[in-house]
Amino acid sequence: MSNYLYVGMPIYHKTNSTRGIIAKINGNKITIDLEKPIMFKSSLDLPISHIGEWLFYNKEDINLDPEYILALPQYSSFGNKRLVEIHKQNIEKEKQRIAGEKKLASEKEKLARIALERIEMLAKLAKEEEEKLARIEQKKKETKEAKENLLIKLQSQHGFEGFHHYTDMLNFIKIMDTGMLLSRTKADKIGFVDAAEQSVLSGTIPYIKDSVRFYYKEKTPTIYVNEGIKRDNAAPHMPIPVLLIFNEDIIYNSDVIFLSGGGGNNTTRKARDPLVADVYDWDVIFSRGAIPNIEGVFDGERGNCDSSIKNKRNAEFLYPNEIEIKHIKKIIFRAESDKKVAVTLLGENSLYEVDTEKLKFNYSHNFLTDYEIILDDQSILFALDFKQHPIGYENKVIIKYSDYTEEALDLDNIPEGKLIKKIAPRGYEHHYYYLNICTEPSKIVMKAEYLMNGHVSAVWEMKKND
């Protein structure tokens, strides 16, 4: 202690910064003579431990921060309780600070570890997603190549020219007006001529009804049964068939389905994978002509007798939901008369063709082959030619006037006075009907139709510029 204290040494008391002189040092106590009394005392006996709390070497030290004083050995060496407590507190604070830093460091390390794990996980997921996308793209590429190969096979080996869809003339008009060919599910909602065999349809799986259905080739067994105007209009019935041939490129839609037979047959296989479809019995699917009088044939798909030739010839291609008419490459009519109806109601179209070589339809029932309807001042001429004489059919004409009235006439029983008899000129000798029918006086004819068994087979209508 002699390094810091000695008798006669000036010292300052915190109270009023009173100056004093150390008069005596006795162990752990010192006596101080004060220049000014404190509490009426001119001399104080104080524990030496007061140094740094109440006693200071310099007047300026009185106002020093205790923590600063604690750092000075001349003050911290005397065991002042307050300084000791501050020292303990500082040690505790330092411990807490160090613990806090360790905890923070630990939490940071933990967060860093979690962040690293998350980064690694995200990197793994990103890699997996990238690999997944790569696999998908590779699968798409392989599927596209497989579809290309299947198309080449069907075209080169079987004369495939596009996907075939047969529909009735009334449906065809709706299809062209709306610009869409719809699945059965969607078509049911807007109404259409149903040519399906209801007993087969009842067993048809819903996903097939949700698809637009195509054949791979013309003249399927189903069309053979449905096509043409039947004398009794018996179902299934497609009175005036029209063939829409869609571009083969629609095969590249990712959701198309290949069927090995008809959609309503429970032995038919289905596949989205063209590699599976590639092994279908395409020789039989594309075969035509008389069907052998046997129910089953050897099936290269499974190696046993499980599908009839008839079912395979009805093989279908399914396109999801609906398809735009921009994909049509040909529209084929059975006869010139059907094309004329389409032109009258829809206008000219470069896709229109008539099956002059009789390759696309079965022609198993009678129908109107050609016609002319010519309006004169007081009459209207109907020149109608048929595949064969329309005996046994109901043959009517309907004349519609601008006042929304109309008259329906039976061509085989026209009232007296309504018919102007004319001899058919050269070129019309073989027309079964060549009739000049008187129109209602002072009325304007807007439209005239010929109906065979109730089916509109010939149309004339007044154009805006007529």
pLDDT for 390: 93
Q: What is the pLDDT of residues 3-14, one digit of tens each?
A: 688 898 999 998
Residue with tokens 């004329």: 340
The CA-atom distances, in angstroms, between 94 and each of 44, 85, 90, 137, 202 are 37, 14, 6, 61, 86
- For residues 238-250, average pLDDT: 97
Name residue 451's beta-bridge partners: 396, 456
Name the average pLDDT for the chain.
89
Within 10 Å of residue 91's Cβ, how many Cβ atoms?
Answer: 10
Query: Which of 88-97, 258-267, 411-420, 437-446 is predicted least confidently?
Result: 88-97
Q: Percentage of the chain surpassing pLDDT 90?
A: 62
More confident residue, 87 or 133: 133
| One-letter amino acid of 386 | F
pLDDT for 465: 54
User: 321 near 212, Cβ under 8 Å?
Assistant: yes
- For residues 348-377, average pLDDT: 95
pLDDT for 298: 41
Q: Percentage of the chain surpassing pLDDT 70?
A: 92
User: pLDDT category, 96, cuts 50, 70, 90?
Assistant: confident
Name residue 30's beta-bridge partners: 25, 46
- For residues 408-434, average pLDDT: 90
- For residues 216-232, average pLDDT: 92
Query: Which of 20-24, 55-59, 79-83, 185-189 is predicted least confidently?
Result: 79-83
For residue 395, pLDDT over 70 is answered with yes
- Which are the contacts of 246, defined by CB distance < 8 A and separation ≥ 6? 162, 163, 164, 165, 214, 323, 327, 328, 329
For residue 215, pLDDT over 80 is answered with yes
Q: What is the pLDDT of residues 292-348, one digit of tens each?
A: 765 444 433 333 333 489 899 999 999 999 999 999 999 999 999 999 999 999 999
Name residue 400's beta-bridge partners: 406, 447
- For residues 366-379, average pLDDT: 94
- For residues 199-220, average pLDDT: 82
pLDDT for 202: 52
pLDDT for 204: 65
User: pLDDT category, 229, cuts 50, 70, 90?
Assistant: very high
- For residues 46-58, average pLDDT: 89
- For residues 386-392, average pLDDT: 93
User: 64 near 53, Cβ under 8 Å?
Assistant: no
Longest dimension (CA), the chain: 164
| One-letter amino acid of 201 | L
